[in-house]
Amino acid sequence: MTISVGDKLPETTFAIMTENGPEQVSSTDYFAGKKIALFSVPGAFTPTCSAKHLPGYIEKEADLKAKGIDEVVCTAVNDPFVMGAWGKSAGADGKVTMLADGNGAFAQAIGLTMDGSKFGLGTRGQRFSMVVNDGTVEQLNVEAPGEFRVSAAEYMVDQI
């Protein structure tokens, strides 16, 4: 079942790269008490994700915060080392938090996986964005296969 507006995020574990190495974080703890703009990409360093998706949220971070967002978060089914390196190379430090869903547990728990096998990617998270307020989904935008529109930062800024 796919998550819907009004649903609480399920309990899963992410990994985040810190100066001490990767650290595990509970989704329940991480999203508690904050209003977060969360977006998911099929993979770090992939073309659309690197050229448009992540850069858009880096560019629009201040606009999102001006509209009441506490933090902008990117997730992908990648390990924390890759997510950390991608964030650094894209200039996301201090603007977009990179949460690794290494085994795809989060994508699976919210019902938003995709089969990227024909590209050698295996099971990944779909391209989507959501506003999560204290662990509850307030907005949800899921892209049609092969599209990049409703999960873009500009779209989210206009929605809020």
* Nearest residue to 76 via CA among 5, 15, 153: 15
- The rounded distance, in Å, linking the Cα atoms of 131 and 135 is 9
Q: Which of 25, 41, 49, 131 is catalytic?
A: 49
> Which residues are bridge partners to 102 per DSSP?
none
Strand-strand pairing, 128-133 and 35-40? antiparallel
3-state secondary structure of 112: coil
| Catalytic (active site) residue 49 | yes
Would you tell me how many other CB atoms lie within 10 Å of the CB of residue 127?
A: 27
- The rounded distance, in Å, linking the Cα atoms of 118 and 96 is 29
Q: Cα-atom radius of gyration of the chain, to the nearest Å?
A: 14
Residues involved in catalysis: 49
